[in-house]
Structure 1
Amino acid sequence: MALDLFAGIPVSDFAAALKWYERLLGDPPTFFPHDAEAVWELAEHRYLYIEHLPERAGHAMHTIFLDDFDARTAQISERGLEPATSETYSNGVRKATYRDPDGNEIGFGGAPV
């Protein structure tokens, strides 16, 4: 079965969110379906998108699990963003959670070292 995933994030200020997510993800969007939506392809058939929906902004919670956790979080830091929280679970899994200007949470998780 083919599977595509589109994980949406409602934002109140599209221009500001676009800049913030470009810094977080390290690239411009893959495409713009329309003037108030930007889409990044994170991996084949796996997309993260922001959309101008002020009445719903601030409630998204997504976690992206990576095999290059240390490298990715270091690159994000180099672009001027720091996690709001960093955790290590009892099984050794690590998670760094970033909050956009609306409070939406984007976490990056990584396996134990």
Structure 2
Amino acid sequence: MTIDTALPVAAVMAAVPVRDAAVAKRFYERLLGATPDDSPMPGLRQWNLGDGVLQVMVDPERAGGGLATLMLDDLAAAAEGVRVRGVSLDIAQGEVVTAVARVVDPDGNAITLVQA
């Protein structure tokens, strides 16, 4: 019998620590263009994005140290929608990816948007 040693990951959840749940909720609603899909516990809101989940959680001690990367099919179109909602993105050409943009939330967490 051969044992597969690879970790069988079904999906990935990225967690972004924030200080203020209300401020973060407003920012991420503008960035993502949607209200949270659920709030499984106090201080935690989740957005289901493609095959993954973005969690925004109150954790003042870790706030501002988060990084999340969101893969998009059309970064230019997504950036226009984000701009209309009041969040500006500067798109740059990438060397490994087609295009990349970065936005920082009110706590200093970096959210990177990339087009493969």
Q: Do the two structures share a fold, i.e. TM-score over 0.5?
A: yes
Paired amino acid for 2:67: M
Which residue among 42, 47, 50 is the counterpart of 1:43?
50
Moved over 3 A (4+): none
Structure 1 segments unaligned to the other structure (5+ residues):
none
Query: Counterpart in 2 of 1:109?
Result: 114
Distance in 2, Cα, partners of 1:8 & 1:62: 8
Which residue among 62, 68, 73 is the counterpart of 2:68?
62
CA RMSD of aligned residues (A): 1.5
1:6-85 → structure 2 map (5 Å cutoff): 6-44=13-51, 46-83=52-89, 85=90
Distance in 2, Cα, partners of 1:91 & 1:53: 33
Distance in 1, Cα, partners of 2:54 & 2:97: 26
Which digits, 9 at most, give the CA deviation of each residue in 1:84-112, with x for residues without a partner?
A: x532123562111010001101111114x
Structure 2 segments unaligned to the other structure (5+ residues):
1-7
Distance in 1, Cα, partners of 2:91 & 2:19: 26
Which digits, 9 at most, give the CA deviation of each residue in 1:45-97, with x for residues without a partner?
A: x10010000110001111111112111111000000012x5321235621110
Distance in 2, Cα, partners of 1:81 & 1:12: 20
Structure exhibiting the larger radius of gyration computed from Cα positions? 2
Instruction: Please tell me whether the aligned partners of residues 97 and 114 of structure 2 are also in contact (alpha carbons under 8 angstroms).
Output: no
- Closer, same or farther: CA 67–14 of 1 in aligned 2, 3 Å: same
Which residue among 88, 99, 114 is the counterpart of 1:94?
99
